Amino acid sequence: MSAAAPAAAAQAAIAAPDAARDFRIAFAIMTALLIAAPFVVYPVFLMQALCFALFACAFNLLIGYVGLLSFGHAMFMGFAGYIAAHLAKVGSIDFTLPLIGVGPHWRFGPLPPLVAIAAGVVCSALLGLLVGALAIRRQGIYFAMITLALAQMVYFFCLQAPFTHGEDGIQSVPRGKLLGIDLSVDLSMYFFVLAIFLTGFLLIYRIIHSPFGEVLKAIRENEARAVSLGYSVDRYKLAAFVLSAALSGLAGATKSLAMQNASLTDVHWSMSGEVVLMTLIGGLGTIFGPVVGAFVIIAMLQYLSPFGQWVTIMQGVIFVVCVLAFRRGVIGELAAVWRKSL
């Protein structure tokens, strides 16, 4: 043990430039595949998978690098989706109080896609600030339960608020135009979604490998020691939580425009569970893992849908197999075999 430790440290020091090179190669392969994909696979399916991949990456930022298991991440994704869909379709903000009938009310008409998505991201970041400030005061299972409870409140709000249209959701959301390009064509929308996904993905990579990210990892490994080193742990946790919420919102807002609807499915607690599954199958704490996990799960949902409710059971079996047989997830196992960090 004592002999192995310096050796491992030396290896890590050598591995650092290697890791950056490995990332560049893997990133180039992924980008190339994603650029070629829509010419082979149905683009709408790919858009959906990309949005979930970004969602899973944002979730992984929290659980994989800070060690916080949020069980309410669907609220950020779903809520941002509603905001973006509403602004892109109707374009009004209404704070009229239900009983008194007065309050600020603005109507400005449908907004362009980027503005609608940005508004969704801002809303989910604010929501993340609120939820995070409450939740990070507790750890472990209590943290998870607080996020779940608050997510259920957001779900109820989305069920009852007039602008979300309850069970029907917001339907036929226009995709709009970007720089004169008509996004209602599936292929142009796909590349728009791909650009957003890659931006979000690189941002997450940058966060993880910044000094800020190093502190997050230190908190994950040993929170007490990070405190003793003088880091204000709560602030770091809150910042990570807000970043993760905002990126989940980016995924949700983009998805509601790409799929042209915002519905209760995306704020439901089962979506919070689905994202845990995606991250676990792909590989917790690996940067490419959640992307692979999201594609696996979404492909399953898509191609197994003729089996109806059996899909949930199949998902459960896959989850059990994954936990028993390859606990590090698809990418985690590959990384271990190739001795690379992916």
- CA nearest 27: which of 328, 291, 213? 291
CA distance 66 to 284: 11
Nearer to other proteins, 263 or 279 (CB): 263
**Minimum Å distance from CB 193 to other proteins?**
15
Nearer to other proteins, 113 or 285 (CB): 113
Nearer to other proteins, 31 or 110 (CB): 110
CA distance 220 to 275: 20
**Minimum Å distance from CB 188 to other proteins?**
15
Nearer to other proteins, 186 or 333 (CB): 186
**Minimum Å distance from CB 114 to other proteins?**
23
CA distance 162 to 96: 11
Structure tokens at 18: 């290697």
95 CB contacts (<8 Å, ≥6 apart)? Answer: 103, 104, 105
Written as one letter, the residue type at 189 is M
Question: Which residue's structure tokens are 């709408």?
Answer: 44
**Minimum Å distance from CB 38 to other proteins?**
12
CA distance 274 to 298: 10
Nearer to other proteins, 60 or 260 (CB): 260
**Minimum Å distance from CB 259 to other proteins?**
7
Q: Which residues bind other proteins (CB under 8 A)?
A: 42, 44-45, 48, 159, 166-169, 171-172, 186, 259-261, 263-266, 305-306, 308-309
**Minimum Å distance from CB 109 to other proteins?**
20
Nearer to other proteins, 111 or 264 (CB): 264
Of the CA atoms within 13 Å of residue 28, those in its CB half-sphere come to: 6
Residue pair 200/58 in contact (Cβ under 8 Å)? The answer is yes
Q: Pairing mode, if any, of strands 105-107 and 177-178?
A: unpaired
CA distance 291 to 287: 8
